[in-house]
Amino acid sequence: MQKTDITTRADIFKLVKTFYSKVRKDEVLAPFFNDTISDWDEHLGRLTTFWESSLFLKTKYYGDPLEAHVNVDKKFNQTITEKHFGIWLNLWVETIDELYKGDYAENAKRRARKMATFIHLKIFEARS
């Protein structure tokens, strides 16, 4: 199969859906997601919009990912660590590499790396 770049909302949805199917099965990450998210269709749509906004800069995302992650950390007794973000990021990059190739695909990896670092720092700050 010839890989193409991420160019449409449908491409992003495919990425997000494939990625979260892995997350939901991962023994380390699954409890955080499966015990928190009750409507996966809505969540996948929201994340598709988030990534569409982040990559294409033409859609507006309404939400607060920082607050959401801080709240999940609180719910799980402040047990989210850099290990969780590492696994999350490795699965994200793996999924992109399986499905896509190109500038937007590489940008999605860079943005995820920055986001993982930033969110992890904000979670740590919220614990003080």
Q: Which residue has the tokens 């969540």?
A: 43
Eight-class DSSP state of 100: B
**pTM, to two decimals:** 0.93
pLDDT tens readout for residues 60-114: 888 888 899 999 999 999 999 999 999 999 999 999 999 999 999 999 999 999 9
Angle at which helices 82-99 and 9-23 pack, to 10 degrees? 130
Q: Identify the band that residue 32 occupies on the pLDDT scale cut at 50, 70 and 90.
A: very high
- Domain limits of the chain? 9-127
- Cα–Cα distance between 93 and 18 in angstroms, integer? 12
Residue 17 has pLDDT above 90, yes or no: yes
Per CATH, which fold does 9-127 belong to?
Globin-like (1.10.490)
Tokens representing 103?
A: 């500038």
Rounded to whole angstroms, what are the CA distances from 72 to 48, 55, 103?
Answer: 20, 25, 32
pLDDT band at 59 (very low <50, low <70, confident <90, very high): confident
